[in-house]
Amino acid sequence: MNHSVDIAHFDRLLQGAADPGTVLLDARNAEDSQQWRPEGPGIPAFANVSYTEFVEDEDGALSRLPQADSVYVICARGRSSQYVAGVLRQRGINAINVDGGMLAWAAHHRIVRLNGDADAFAIYQVVRPAKGCLSYIVASGGEALIVDATRYGDVYLEFAARNGLRIGATADTHLHADHLSGSSGLSHDSGSGYHLADEDAQGSALTRDAMPKQFDIGGAKIRVLTLPVPGHTLGSTALLVDDRYLVSGDTLLPEGVGRPDLGNKAREWTRFLYESLSGVLGKLDPQTVVLPAHAASAAQFDVRGACERRLGPLLAAAAIADRDAFLESVEERVSHSSQPAAYAEIRKINLGAPVTAARAEELEVGMNKCALSSAPA
């Protein structure tokens, strides 16, 4: 039996079928653990017993661990957890260290192809499970468009190199407030253009191109239309790929609509959001596959490890049939939500303000909060 797993293997275990014989043991302190931890249906049981507790009172720490066939141990960087896993093995428990810990988890991405081989293009969802960030690669004729790249640009550069793709352009569906965008940096590194709608680029220090009406990838073998959908932000743009896939940014999310209050003009932007949903997206085929920019939990992914929805049911759930009811419901929920303090700083960085690697890591701790929650926050 292996004494450690790498982070990609750990992700597959988390995302796989539930194994009731396993426990995930978090060896960080309670505060860090409560703020942010890996979750997934594959390892349903969880315990938080810190490294310090194991050092100070081994028997006491062990007594707090639930019975299990296998214990996966994680910590911040994979070192304290290695010690704890060693202690457990000495006590006859099958303990496996998660290599690299939360640092590796934060950087981990999995790439899932969404369409079949018969198409003239390929569309991939790039999942960063630690943050619930979803980005996209649309490839055709040896060229790729990358949408909403995370700050881990190497993930996309390596994928492109492995698959013989040239990165032709990058785009952000909107100015992200919850995580650091890698799109501009990726454009710089790959020599391609970076696209963000003018409305979201006010005060930008970045080299940027406006959002075109359409992206032609690989000699126009595949048509990607850009649809302005203001509401979550003024410049929010959805990308319609081959009339079948809607890269929706945060306008439509697996659990509902994106919050329209981030610009502190909730009343006005809620009305824009309504027009975008009913007037723009409501005219598309209800069977269109919606590919959001975020997932809120591991439960929102399918067996492939991807997160997609159909447009019709999402719009029906958003209750856009009745304008007044929609406005009232969104305004009611907005009145209960607050904006994390880090969002203002993240926006500035996404417009080109410098940031250190350490600060970037701190700013990205925790899941995103771009969805309009149905419960008061």
Contact set with Fe ion (CB under 5 A): 250, 370
CB of 249 to Fe ion, least distance (A): 7
Which residue, 75 or 175, has its beta carbon nearer to Fe ion?
175
> Could you confirm whether 75 is annotated as catalytic?
yes
Which residue, 28 or 131, has its beta carbon nearer to Fe ion?
131
Q: Determine whether 366 is exposed, middle or buried from the number of CB atoms within 10 Å of its CB (0-12, 13-18, 19+).
A: middle
Which residue, 82 or 270, has its beta carbon nearer to Fe ion?
270
Question: From residue 17, how far is each of 10, 21, 42, 71, 110 by CA, in Å?
Answer: 13, 12, 5, 16, 17
Closest by CA position to 37, among listed 77, 89, 74: 74
Which residue, 80 or 237, has its beta carbon nearer to Fe ion?
237
CB of 370 to Fe ion, least distance (A): 4
CB of 236 to Fe ion, least distance (A): 8
Which residue, 141 or 263, has its beta carbon nearer to Fe ion?
263
Closest by CA position to 290, among listed 243, 247, 250, 249: 247
CB of 262 to Fe ion, least distance (A): 7
Question: Which residue bears the tokens 């910590």?
Answer: 75
Q: With beta carbons less than 8 A apart as the criterion, state whether 148 and 195 touch.
A: no
How many of the other CB atoms lie within 10 Å of CB of 88? 23
CB of 46 to Fe ion, least distance (A): 28
Q: With beta carbons less than 8 A apart as the criterion, state whether 122 and 129 touch.
A: no
Q: What is the Cα 11 distance to its own chain's centre?
A: 14
- Tell me how far apart the alpha carbons of residues 78 and 7 are, in angstroms, rounded to a whole number: 11
Q: Which residues are catalytic?
A: 75
